[in-house]
Amino acid sequence: MLMDWVKVAERDSIKKDSGIECDVGGIKIAVFNQDGLHAIESTCAHQEGSIAPGVLKDGVIECPLHFWHYDIKTGKLLDYLKDIKLKTFRVEQRDDGIYVEA
Ligand code: FES
């Protein structure tokens, strides 16, 4: 599959310690701003809730629906079934905005 860099937000528009959800070619991606920018699949592996608006603390996002936890750098689920991992994407802040490769 061909990957491409897509602008998903304006530069500096994601507040520190929070995230946004964007749609890149039909893939829902969460971009978080905590210790840099991190982009992972936004669809929770439990019941497909969006993890983007969850509580973000110490590099861990908590799904707002039933509180599963994911590492925002690796996408790895941190509780329950340990082999679940949300896909990660490269993300960059450029002069004209925030870009995700998907
Ligand atoms: S949908 Fe995320 S924990 Fe249930």
The pLDDT profile of the chain, 102 residues, written as one tens digit per residue, is: 668 999 999 999 999 999 999 999 899 999 999 999 999 999 999 999 999 999 999 999 999 999 999 999 999 999 977 799 999 999 999 999 999 999
Task: Give the closest residue to 44 by CA, choosing from 25, 18, 62.
Answer: 62
If one residue of 50, 62, 68 were mutated to test the ligand 1 pocket, choosing by the most ligand atoms within 8 A of its CB, it would be: 68
**Ligand 1: which atom is nearest the Cα of residue 64?**
2
Token readout for 1 is: 């599959």
The whole model's pTM is what?
0.94
Q: Which residues pair with 24 in a beta bridge?
A: 27
Q: Which domains does the chain have, with CATH numbers?
A: 5-101 (2.102.10.10)
If one residue of 28, 41, 46, 55 were mutated to test the ligand 1 pocket, choosing by the most ligand atoms within 8 A of its CB, it would be: 46
Q: 20 with 27: CB under 8 angstroms?
A: no
Token readout for 30 is: 């969460």
